[in-house]
Amino acid sequence: MENDGYRYLAFLFTDIEKSSALWEQHPDAMERSLAWHDALLSEIIERHQGCVLSREGDSFRAAFEHPLQAISAALEAQIAFVENAKRSTESNSTSPFLPLRVRMALHCGEVYCQDELFIGACLQRGALLVSLAFGEQILLTRAIQEHLQGALLPDEVSLLDLGLHRLKDLSQPEPLFQLCHPSLPVKFPPLVSLEAQKTNLPAQITHFVGRERELEELKQQLRPLPQPSHRLLTLTGPGGVGKTRLSLQVGADLLDDFSDGVWVVELATLKTPQLVLNTIASVFGIREEAGQRLQDALCDYLRPLRLLVILDNCEHLLVPGADGEGAARSTMGLEWVEWILARCPQVVFLATSRQPLGLAEEHIYPLSPLSFPEDAEVSLEQLLQYDAVRLFVELAAHVQPSFRLQRSNAPHVVSICQQVDGIPLALELAAARLNILSVVHLAERLQQRLHLLRHGNRVALPRQQTLRALIDWSYELLDEREKLLFCRLAVFEGGATFEAITQILDDEPQITELLSALVAKSLLICSVSEHATRFHMLEIIREYAWEKFIALPEMERVRERHKEWYLNFAQSKLDGLYDERTAETLLLFDAEHANFRAALAWCVHQKNVIDELRLVNALQRFWLVRGHLSEGFMRLREALDRAKDTQPSERRYKAYVNAGIQCWASGNFSEMSFYFEHAIAEARVLQHATYTATALANYAAALIYCDQMEKARALLEEAYEISSQGDDQELKAAYLGYLAVVAKEEGNYAKAELLSLEVRKEWERLANPLALASTINNLGICARAQGDLARARAFAQEGLSLRRQIGDKHGFGWSLLAFAELEAACCRYDRAARLFAAAERALVHGSPLTPSEKRDYEAHLKQTKEALGADLFARYYREGEAMPLGEAIAYALEENETPCP
């Protein structure tokens, strides 16, 4: 292709599916087939006015002036490959070539061309896209599809919309399309894009630029097979150097290597090191349960898994070392990483921190800023080999779409990269100013700014000071209203929704325009989803804003309004944690967890024990369902300690009940009675019949799990006597449900079933799906115990389907266990073993089993082991352990044609 410089081109990417296996099995035939494949592709590309850019192994990369040329070439080549595959697989085939299944992708975008070199982010994206395709499939991006609108496609060609997908560059989801033609297959499995993978890797606004060497080195050191070089690797470097972005890209690239996924644990908003373990556990949905410590539950879950955990932003959880030399040492919070490494042999950690963590197995990987040239007296092609230049050019084009690297502006671009030391965040802050400054003026203003900091000294600034200077400069270029909003936004921990910002900071009439301005200047990040628009700051920028915020005269007023808003938010959404909105409401609480913690910290700072009690009570259900039991109990206990000298109140009563429930759920029976008994005493002082009955009923339910049936029954009878005089329908339904559990525990399954049927009607009438699912599960247990396996299965299916519908994660274990025991009762022991494994993993998420449930579980498990024998049981159990939760649920719900004996 002629005309060096920036060009907008269409690209074709191809490779052969499962080529390694073909080379191993048919080396001679593969050599002939690959030669034919290369010649055919080269000839077709040339005939359609294309240019082969590169060949690596069996992969091709070609460029075309127009998307229609790329489509025509891809279509002709793919039809030829498909027809050859058909001929090669016929019984009387004499084809000399193997059936090559070629996958193809088409994309277009701008690249810089010089001689035979092509540079551009679109090339990386195309390479990622072709890895997503299946053999004999042709994928297209939205960029290609948009260029084809109104164009005359080749005969019989159509485009099939495959929906939104995220690629491994962590970009935002975008539509993908499949090119369809009668001569090509149409049906393929769903694309295994990022949404279909086991990961919580967040989407990124910008492309990943450069760092090829670092990326490859890190992947080599962390790749799990045959063994990772290091199981705890810490990326260290100053703030803004790109540690987080690199770690996320390493994780994305290693998704195929870690069969159980790549998981990010964000620690930036965590202020209490003791909650590190809880935060890691919450990412996997692990909750504390009775009789098992959280660290043991987490290790039991992780032990069979092969996964990568990214711990992001660890530095603020370090404390000064004991050597007196200022060395960093991990607090007990991060030392849980060592605990997990010692017990989970296939778990690998990648951490990011400004300092080493000081842990025993840690390997430190210092990260330098991006590379930049010493001078601009080189070709544009050579300049674009430097990561800092490429990143700045991409960022600049985002601010000014017409921006291109040219000979006229190259010296100024190089000057900017040099002055900010190649620090990615500094480059982003500088590029954001191109909306008001030319690149010439930007370079001059930067030079003046940093020269003042050096006081004329030619010695370079420390990198962290350079970044601070850039943030200072960005701040000073704001107008007064933008500065004030920027500082006030530091009140939010972990970001905030547009609704929260506008209501807490509602004295600014043009807040929408000001937020947009801060986003445009790279001081604020905006994330838009179908549920909400959310804004957050990078942690290093928030640290700067916080310093300014705490000096504001209105700081206390803003923090008070922040506390009041999140308190009201938690209280207003509380009902949603008990009904069909549970899954949706839990996500809302997850997103605001850091803000809730900040609001509680302000209550403590202000010695406002009344609001502290109100907030811990509003959060109790969230902590319980999400498994934050240690945190929930700690905060309830501390609030009650601070409230011990206050008058009896509704708030204090609820905190006592909630502390008792947290103790019960976590198996802390030694302290449980103290809190329930104080709750009962408080309710009686308040002369509140419903409160008294509720405390009695909850205490009774907890005692059932302690196998104290006599005391439980006595408390339930007292609760019923009190509640029968009132009209609290939820309490009456709960009371009947507890009586059904007592009957079940005593072996009176007929009575338990009658009571449960009555309770079921009440929960249906009251629209409480969580309680309904639990009741249906109990009905299945009663039916199975009475020998009615068909009814037991029907109840189990109904209960599990309901839990899947509402996202009741903490109840899945009970339902899967019910299915495992049913399969054992039906002598389908292979299925029973798989479901026992899946149930045991899921039970880590849920509350404890009652004594009778434990006995049933142990008996059916023993029966299954004896029927299968040790080897077969171990084999089927491993298969069940390997099932993702969704797959295990679908497996349990499968209709089985083999009847129970």
**What are the structure tokens assigned to 23, written together?**
């080379």
Whether 470 has a pLDDT exceeding 80, the answer reads no
Task: Report residue 170 CA to chain centroid gap.
Answer: 12
Q: Report which of 694, 837, 863 is spatially closest to residue 304, judged by C-alpha positions.
A: 837
Average pLDDT over residues 542-553: 92
Three-point CA angle 284, 290, 294, nearest 5°: 35
DSSP for 821-883? HHHHHTT-HHHHHHHHHHHHHHHTTSPPPPHHHHHHHHHHHHHHHHHH-HHHHHHHHHHHHHS
Q: Which residue has tokens 């990987």?
A: 365
pLDDT in the model for residue 323: 40
Q: Pick the residue with more confidence: 565 or 98?
A: 565
pLDDT digits (tens, 9 = 90+) for 801-819: 888 887 776 678 888 999 9
**Contact predicate 753/779, CB 8 Å:** yes
pLDDT digits (tens, 9 = 90+) for 657-701: 999 988 887 778 888 999 999 999 999 999 998 899 999 999 998
Closest CA to 706 of 662, 755, 673: 673
- H-run or E-run covering 44: helix 27-47
pLDDT at 713: 86
- Three-class SS state of 645: coil
d(CA 693, CA 374): 77
- pLDDT score recorded for residue 456: 37
Residues 31-56: tens digit of each pLDDT: 888 999 999 999 999 999 888 888 88
Tell which wins on pLDDT, 195 or 612. Answer: 612
pLDDT digits (tens, 9 = 90+) for 588-606: 998 999 999 999 999 999 9
* Per-residue pLDDT, 233: 94
How far is it, in rounded angstroms, from Cα 617 to Cα 620?
5
pLDDT over 60 at 462, yes or no: no
Contacts 24+ apart (CB under 8 A), 713-722: 713/742, 716/742, 718/693, 719/692, 719/693, 719/694, 720/693, 722/689, 722/690, 722/692, 722/693, 722/696
Residues in the chain: 901
What is the average per-residue pLDDT within 860-881? 91
Angle at 545 between CA 541 and CA 546, to 5 degrees: 115
Count CB neighbours of 616 within 10 A. 27
Q: What is the pLDDT of residues 754-779, one digit of tens each?
A: 999 999 998 888 888 888 988 999 99
* pLDDT per position as a tens digit, 193-246: 777 778 888 877 777 888 889 999 999 999 988 888 899 999 988 778 889 899
The predicted pLDDT at position 457 comes to 40
Per residue in 66-103, pLDDT (tens digit) is 889 999 999 999 999 998 888 877 767 777 888 889 99
